[in-house]
Amino acid sequence: MEYSDLYVLRIRNLCKQRGISINKLSTMSGVKQSTLDNIVRGQTHNPKTKTIHKIAIAFNMTLSEFLDFPELNEYCFDDDSDE
């Protein structure tokens, strides 16, 4: 699984748990529908922290709560090319 896929997984799971569509999440977060669509379709691989923060707030979570989930915490960075 790619690192960017983890955001998609988190957003989809939270939407499913809370009965929220991506369209509704867009309205709740103030993030453009096209931006959210690009994230959940995997076209945006590195969303801005500000965007993720807005999404977290829409879920009534802090940014750290949003980012605190097993798949992300267990992610292994095998590629050291970013350092």
48 is a domain residue: yes
26 is a domain residue: yes
pLDDT tens column, 30-50: 999 999 999 999 999 999 999
pLDDT number for residue 3 = 84
What is the chain's mean pLDDT, rounded?
92
- Write the CA distances from 48 to 2, 11, 17, 19, integer angstroms: 17, 15, 24, 25
Phi-psi region of 42 (alpha: psi -120 to 50; beta: other; left: phi over 0): left
Q: Which residue has the higher pLDDT, 79 or 18?
A: 18
Task: Quote the CA–CA distance of 81 and 28 in Å, as a whole number.
Answer: 37
Structural domain total, the chain: 1
* pTM (predicted TM-score): 0.86
Amino acid 36 reads L
Q: Is 57 a residue whose pLDDT tops 70?
A: yes
CATH of residue 14's domain is 1.10.260.40
78 is a domain residue: no
83 is a domain residue: no
Domain range holding 43? 3-73
